[in-house]
């Protein structure tokens, strides 16, 4: 019988692979009878560093190989400098991660234009894999870019605050929240619920979404693989453990996608965020910088990761993530080489330059 709950899958992975700290063992090659291509196990190994080379230098060597791909993935208006600087700062913390997952996480952030500096997004190591995690500020940034939203408000109501929630009243009287700025967080009392709403460019306001602590914990327990792994292992070091309030706020901001007209980019960010929480692959294919620019209206070209070892590793990671839903001994599902992208297609810097040259 299939293991349907996230907790069951996490427990099964840890029981089946205790020597790897709860990470699933690599799945066999997708080609019958063919040995799996050798793939680097960590970012340091992928960098092919000299044994005496410093670990930070090793990962910088790796970054040099893919810097062009990362720059090309950035949307117009996002400067490469700040993004690459943030990646350089975080890479040493990812040196023990699977290199395919590192490339996927870095490219995911680039395609959304969210800098992984801890403000709009984070790239973190979770049990041997790198995961891209947008913050609530990242969601707000993408909503602003849509051109439909003038501003987004995310807040927290505490027990000693003045507030009123009356869904039947006309906006903006359906929700009010007043805070005494002279009071400290402790004096305001315990947090009751997070909320979020948006003001549109025409001056109207969206529905207010609220998430109380019980609901936030339900969403955490149902969807956050990193939280369950941290609980089961006893490490208790996931963001839900160390930055609970920020995750609570993000949960409220993410709920806006259900009640606010948002861009396809925001909807894609929600799906990518959920995939990361569930331990699924967020991005598999990297852009091909040498591919001919597509004609107007044609689909943009994607190619598999340029390094054969990284490609094989990424496919095995995807297969292992799905295989973990079956009990030990069950047949592993096979995945096609070309996984559908979870982000909306965008014009990259290189393809824009190629089109300009053709004109």
Question: At which residue do the structure tokens 């004096």 appear?
Answer: 187
Q: Which of 22-36, 60-74, 105-119, 270-284 has the lowest mean pLDDT?
A: 22-36
> Residue 17, class by beta-carbon neighbours within 10 Å (0-12 exposed, 13-18 middle, 19+ buried)?
middle
**pTM attached to this predicted model:** 0.67
User: Where are the domains positioned within the chain?
Assistant: 6-133+280-358, 147-261
pLDDT tens string 117-152: 999 999 999 878 899 999 999 999 999 988 889 999
Q: What is the mean pLDDT of the chain?
A: 74
pLDDT tens string 18-30: 444 444 433 333 3
> Residue 181, class by beta-carbon neighbours within 10 Å (0-12 exposed, 13-18 middle, 19+ buried)?
exposed
Looking at residue 283, what is its pLDDT? 62
Q: Which of 79-93, 107-121, 281-295 has the lowest mean pLDDT?
A: 281-295
Pairwise pLDDT comparison (247 vs 233), residue with the higher score: 247
pLDDT tens string 202-216: 889 999 999 999 999
Pairwise pLDDT comparison (210 vs 344), residue with the higher score: 210
Question: What Å distances lie between residue 162 and 156, 176, 187, 338, CA to CA?
Answer: 12, 8, 13, 53
Q: How far apart are CA 305 and CA 289, in angstroms?
A: 11
Q: Is the pLDDT of residue 53 over 50?
A: no
Q: Is the pLDDT of residue 115 over 90?
A: yes
**Number of alpha carbons in the 13 Å side-chain half-sphere of residue 42:** 16
Looking at residue 259, what is its pLDDT? 87
Q: Within 17-112, where are the H helices? A: 43-46, 55-73, 80-90, 99-112
Q: Is the pLDDT of residue 358 over 80?
A: no
Tell me the pLDDT band of 343, cut-offs 50, 70 and 90.
very low
Average pLDDT over residues 304-333: 43
Q: Is the pLDDT of residue 106 over 70?
A: yes
Looking at residue 6, what is its pLDDT? 57
Question: What Å distances lie between residue 93 and 109, 124, 272, 282, CA to CA?
Answer: 17, 8, 22, 19
Helix (H, G, I), strand (E, B) or coil at 143: helix
Percent of the chain with pLDDT over 70: 62
Q: How far apart are CA 126 and CA 95, in angstroms?
A: 12
Virtual torsion, Cα 162, 166, 172, 173, nearest 10 deg: -70
Looking at residue 264, what is its pLDDT? 86
Q: Give residue 322's region: left, alpha or beta (phi > 0; psi -120 to 50).
A: alpha
Looking at residue 263, what is its pLDDT? 83
Q: How far apart are CA 348 and CA 333, in angstroms?
A: 33
């Amino acid at each position: 019988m299939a293991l349907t709950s996230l907790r069951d899958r996490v427990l099964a992975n840890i029981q089946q692979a205790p020597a790897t700290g709860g990470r699933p063992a690599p799945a066999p090659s997708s080609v019958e009878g063919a040995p799996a291509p050798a793939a680097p196990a960590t970012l340091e190994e992928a960098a092919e560093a000299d044994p005496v080379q410093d670990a930070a230098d090793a990962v910088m060597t790796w970054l040099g190989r893919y810097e062009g791909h990362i720059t090309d993935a950035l949307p117009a208006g996002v400067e490469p400098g700040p993004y690459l600087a943030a990646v350089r700062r975080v890479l040493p913390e990812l040196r023990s991660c699977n290199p395919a997952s590192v490339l996927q996480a870095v490219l995911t952030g680039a395609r959304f234009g969210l800098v992984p500096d801890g403000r709009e997004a984070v790239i973190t190591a979770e049990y041997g894999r790198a995961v891209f995690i947008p913050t609530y500020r990242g969601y707000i940034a993408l909503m602003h870019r849509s051109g439909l939203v003038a501003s987004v408000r995310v807040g927290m109501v505490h027990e000693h605050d003045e507030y009123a929630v009356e869904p039947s009243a006309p906006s903006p009287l359906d929700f009010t929240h007043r805070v005494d700025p002279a009071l400290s967080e402790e004096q305001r009392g315990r947090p009751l619920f997070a909320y979020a709403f948006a003001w549109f460019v025409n001056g109207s306001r969206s529905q207010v979404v609220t998430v109380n602590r019980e609901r936030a914990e339900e969403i955490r327990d149902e969807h956050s693989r990193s939280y369950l792994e941290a609980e089961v292992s006893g490490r208790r070091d996931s963001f839900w453990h160390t930055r609970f309030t920020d995750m609570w706020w993000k949960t409220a901001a993410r709920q806006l996608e259900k009640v606010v007209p948002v861009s396809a980019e925001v909807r894609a960010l929600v799906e990518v965020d959920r995939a990361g929480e569930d331990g699924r692959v967020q991005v598999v294919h990297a852009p091909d910088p040498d591919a001919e620019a597509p004609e107007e209206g044609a689909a943009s070209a994607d190619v598999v990761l340029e390094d054969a070892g990284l490609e094989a590793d990424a496919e095995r990671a995807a297969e292992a993530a799905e295989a973990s839903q079956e009990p030990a001994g069950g047949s592993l599902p096979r995945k096609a080489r070309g996984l559908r992208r979870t982000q909306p297609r965008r014009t990259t810097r290189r393809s824009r330059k190629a089109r300009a040259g053709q004109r």
